[in-house]
Structure 1
């Protein structure tokens, strides 16, 4: 299975399990995760959620071959949108344990988690402009609010990767740990959450979100509109063609 799920002692663990493809995410994987989150929200036995990958890689982001095969579907209707809606509206605390690369949506999804722990080998990137696209799933709103406009602009406009220490410095992650200790620590934090009163956690999380839920969903819809339009534009076609042809894209011919 490319996505592993297990429930233990009040914690639902969702694990990327496609190491041969660097945990690149397909539509089927998004659907499995969306369904798991929806089930967890309705399951009183689940009191916390943990999302993790492998020690070598969290996720390389979208599986581009699968992504392009489904490009005709509306962005807001795709399983990825179902997953991100479920994650962004989760009432229960969500912990993420990130080792290795967290590319594109691998970084975007962290903005919707409550506690984010990174291994020393973690590497984050949001290369949307490099693909002729724009930010996704409210990252254009959440990231500047989290790290400040200038830092967010540098990461989102240039799309360049940054390492765990910088992610900690700017506030994207809660803590950086040795790779060997990451998962056990994240599991222990999730177990602490699961042992606390569920109602207290639910209310505290809602208060922390500060009534931004509607704004997040509105920004997601706005980004989806732009993203869908840009996905069919010449710049994105050049970027994806270059990727599959293993060459550098040439955007100089586009105004």
Structure 2
């Protein structure tokens, strides 16, 4: 394995790696993009980024390479130094440097830019999404038309249902409980008042008739009692006259 392969392996395991005397490579999330070269949609993934820093120091990458190659750390440091010196000289001479497995570095307007490679989306954060090739997507237009017609039919049924149900409900309430829709009629209250007044008049009339009946009965009794009293008085006078004549 070359140095760039070890850097990539370290990146996959730890997400960031410091290359002494050159800079820091790290991973960042990348959104789904459209690849215009082959007409495909690349899913979200990780992409390599780079920050140049020729003064940075670290022994972690050398120790990692040493453990992978089963060699000494000093040997790994020397390999890193040789590789980074070559990269810096080539970048200075060509204003562009292609690093295998990592990406490309180029200098423009005195500034260093890096275009990193995208890694395969095997990270669990991206749910194993795969590349989609637009050219492989065959659209069945007849199936699409059938779905559109079915959608229109279902929509029509829905509108009919939404219209009929409220109308039937209103008709039912109009027939069974019209007061819920229109309220109680005003003349019902007036009729109730009239009936109440008639009942009061009827009670008064009954009481009046009863009183009249009592007065009539009293007068009849008086009329029957007066002739008897008169007859008794006449009889008494006759007896008195008869007694006087006999004397």
TM beyond 0.5: no
TM-score range, shorter chain: under 0.3
User: Structure 1 or 2: larger helix share?
Assistant: 2
Relative contact order: is structure 1 or structure 2 higher (C-alpha 8 Å, sep ≥ 6)? 1
